[in-house]
Amino acid sequence: MQEHGAFDICIEGRTIVINATGAWNVETALSWGNEYQNLVRKLNRLPWACLVNLTEFELLVPEAWEHVKQISTWSNQNNQKYEAVVCSASYQEAMVEITQGLMTNVESKIFLNLQQARSWLHQNDMF
């Protein structure tokens, strides 16, 4: 099946930067998860952060949501230290709060804009 929804992902400093857009199906979630894990491995086990921009993100199908939760658990076990998430809607915040519960080793915060999120990660030496 063809991917629905999209993402851009890259490394800046010791931070994985993700811009998620649209509504994701399971194929998009799997593609994102593979790229995400490959980028994390390039950080050579250093402490790292994730900056997630959800301002143009819609929803996930249930199968895709299960994969996102698995990746969150994997991140928690693979030296992630910080997560800054930019949300524009309350349903996005609710989704993030669920993944935050899976990430016991990660300090996670929700922000209203990218500038605040980047500033917080700068303060923690992740850029």
Contact yes or no for 68/29 (Cβ under 8 A): yes
Question: Cα(90)–Cα(72) distance, rounded to whole angstroms?
Answer: 20
pLDDT tens-digit series, residues 23-73: 999 999 999 999 999 999 999 889 999 999 999 999 889 899 899 999 999
Question: Cα(31)–Cα(80) distance, rounded to whole angstroms?
Answer: 20
Given phi > 0 = left and psi -120 to 50 = alpha, else beta, which region is 5? Answer: left
pTM of the model: 0.92
Question: Cα(43)–Cα(3) distance, rounded to whole angstroms?
Answer: 27
How confident is the model at residue 91, as a pLDDT?
Answer: 78
